[in-house]
């Protein structure tokens, strides 16, 4: 499930075990809390596709409690939510490229998607050339010196006081 801020084009991704009303509502509540805390602004409007998970009493009650406006797109008219749809295509294309380039097994697809979304938030968007979504979102200049190619080998230090076997790798 991808959430995208309409002003900054900042994207957040959540991996759902199922696309049910309860799970999507839980993810949105978590996103709303985090987004409002990070930006200092309140979410007022959501644009949603015509998925069945949005039409139930729990979502309707949440909409009323939060005073949210829901904008639903017409079924099979993806162009009505074009920015988000195009963003998903771009993310999937970049994920395929990252997986192919790294040679990593397909079981790491979610890590690749997360990495691509993270990097896309650090690249100027076509909607607002010259601005970076993460900078608009957080209000702070972003540092990219920590970035490495996806699939780069990394090591971790395991403290010796863990009393592991002498033969532990």
Q: What is the DSSP letter of 66?
A: H
* Residue 169 confidence class, pLDDT cut points 50, 70, 90: low
Query: What residue numbers bound the domain in which 57 lies?
Result: 2-138
β-strand partners of 46: 70
Spatial distance between the Cα atoms of 105 and 103, rounded to a whole number of angstroms: 7
Report the alpha-carbon distance of residue 7 to residue 128 in Å, rounded: 9
161 alpha carbon, distance to own chain's centre:
38
Q: Say if 167 falls within a structural domain.
A: no
Contact between 95 and 112 under an 8 Å Cβ cutoff? The reply is yes
41 in a structural domain: yes
* pTM of structure: 0.82
Average pLDDT, the chain: 88
What tens digit of pLDDT does each residue of 41-83 get?
Answer: 999 999 888 777 888 889 999 999 999 998 888 777 777 777 8
Nearest to 8 by CA among 143, 113, 142, 131: 131
Using DSSP, state whether 3 is helix, strand or coil.
Answer: strand
95 within domain boundaries: yes
Q: Is residue 19 part of a domain?
A: yes
Strands (E), 14-120: 45-48, 69-72
CATH number, domain of 52, equals: 3.30.420.10
CA distances from 151 to 12, 86, 109 (A): 21, 25, 11
Contact present, 6 and 35 (Cβ < 8 Å): no
DSSP string, 62-120: HHHHHT-EEEEPPTT-GGGGHHHHHHHHHHHHHHHHHHHHHT--GGGHHHHHHHHHHHH
Q: For residue range 78-115, what is the model confidence (pLDDT) as tens digits?
A: 777 778 888 899 999 999 999 999 999 999 999 999 99
Please check whether residue 159 lies inside any domain of the structure: no
Within a domain: 152: no
Q: How far apart are CA 38 and CA 36, in angstroms?
A: 6
The count of domains in the chain is 1
- Could you tell me if residue 53 is inside a domain? yes
Domain assignment present for 151: no
Length reported for the chain: 169
Q: Locate 38 and state its tokens.
A: 């990070």
């Amino acid at each position: 499930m991808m959430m995208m801020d309409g002003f900054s084009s900042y994207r957040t991704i959540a991996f759902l075990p199922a696309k049910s009303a309860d799970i999507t509502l839980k993810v949105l509540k978590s996103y709303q809390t985090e987004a409002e805390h990070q930006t200092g602004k309140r979410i007022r409007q959501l644009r949603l596709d015509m998925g069945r998970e949005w039409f139930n009493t729990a979502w309707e009650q949440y909409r009323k409690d939060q005073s949210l406006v829901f904008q639903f797109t017409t079924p099979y008219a993806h162009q009505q939510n074009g920015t988000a749809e195009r963003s998903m295509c771009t993310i999937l294309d970049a994920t395929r490229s990252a997986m192919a380039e790294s040679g990593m097994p397909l079981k790491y697809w979610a890590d690749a998607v997360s990495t691509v979304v993270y990097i896309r938030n650090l690249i100027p968007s076509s909607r607002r050339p010259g601005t970076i979504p993460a900078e608009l979102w957080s209000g702070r200049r972003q540092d990219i010196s920590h970035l490495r190619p996806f699939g780069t080998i990394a090591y971790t230090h395991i403290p010796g006081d863990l009393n592991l076997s002498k033969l532990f790798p």
